[in-house]
Structure 1
């Protein structure tokens, strides 16, 4: 079966489940894991601007898309010629069924179950001794954060952070003043590439707060990626428990 993946984290999951470059024939430019394998896969554009002609030339048996990451009109255009599965992952349970379904489609049930169990272990073994109020920023100019109906929020809650914007939905725009109640401010490495200079900018307003850059992939890449983040989460928890 020839597959085109329009979702970076799903591309990674396909290779983790045991598919090869002979199966995954198309990917986006943001599909960067695993590097040694995706380099041999045809790039069909970005997640928001796919090249439909390139995909047609590959003649895939299946295209994997995502409700949030891809553009609805482009996905619908592909549906006229190809079988397309549109995923929607907002919770840990959604992620469980994503891997389970991929396992069934590609006859990789055992590996899918192995990753699901590993993800459960990673999240269960990463707990803070007390709830820490956190703000997780994904964008600058304007500052944007995450609401309770996002996968990032679920990961935060699973490892015992309290999202101070849990009463919001999706990705609301906020002001610096709205961060006042956070004990820790997390600046994600993606989609906006926060750097040390951005920590200093916020320190000017909140000199006593813990402000750190966090690995955006660890929080937002559903699929198999969380199974590899056990050490990262443990180190993160150790760092913020000193608050």
Structure 2
């Protein structure tokens, strides 16, 4: 018997090291596999696309906001992994009836590394989690060296259209923007505010408009519509996984950011 705390401060009682895990978070599903826990993973969401083979080998229990509780129950999990941002908190009472449920809360790189190390400890994968954390810290230090002499650029990071929504403060995305020396013109707004696009010039007139690949599928027409309200913005269709997926995806993110900056340099 072991009592642990998740990242939102809830106490969870585990009878033993979990052996049947349901993950309701795509980035954390990927993380579990990179911690050599694919065999212990029994259930995932329809949005868990990495590694690509999981959808054909694991049970799909729904999405991130709505799940099939009976299907989860049939899987007999002994650990359910959720995230404060990805999953609806009102799911918790039903999930707790099925198995101990862990909620992560990741808004910074340190939060992500803490999660990796904590899951490694809980799930008996300390060696794997330590190695992963060290690799991320090494690549982070390398990227900070790369970015230190780059100029700051004002940006707006779009996640949705009609209504138009952007990433604001108190988000992991905003932390990634800061790391890249991107000054978020909506940094004064919390989380994911709705905005009026014809005011974008007066709210900061960004140098770069980033249209995330998820959760909304932006098209050229969206970029043209918003671009008409700015003076000089460069449009980027950004890889949302690199900006918003913490965990092992960070190993790929820093190289992606380097290439992004090289492309931007050709426009300025």
Does the TM-score normalized on the shorter chain lie above 0.5? yes
Deviates more, 1:44-53 or 1:124-133: 124-133
Q: Distance in 2 between matches of 1:35 and 1:77?
A: 29
Aligned partner of 1:141 in structure 2 is 162
**Aligned Cα root-mean-square deviation (Å):** 1.6
Describe the SS at the equivalent of 2:106. Answer: coil
Structure 1: tracts of 5 or more residues without a match: none
Question: What TM-score results when the alignment is normalised by the length of structure 1?
Answer: 0.94
Q: Distance in 1 between matches of 2:21 and 2:153?
A: 42
Q: Distance in 2 between matches of 1:215 and 1:100?
A: 26
Q: How does 1:1-243 map to 2 (within 5 A)?
A: 1-20=19-38, 22-126=39-143, 127=147, 129-180=150-201, 181-206=205-230, 208-242=232-266, 243=268
Structure 2: tracts of 5 or more residues without a match: 1-18
Q: Distance in 2 between matches of 1:108 and 1:98?
A: 13
> How far is 1:110 from its partner?
2.2
Instruction: Give the paired residue count.
Output: 242
Against the structure 1 CA distance between its residues 220 and 27, is the aligned structure 2 distance closer, same or farther, given a 3 Å change threshold?
same
Does the CA-based 8 Å contact 1:65-1:75 persist in structure 2?
no
Describe the SS at the equivalent of 1:154. Answer: helix
Q: Distance in 2 between matches of 1:54 and 1:161?
A: 43
Describe the SS at the equivalent of 1:120. Answer: helix
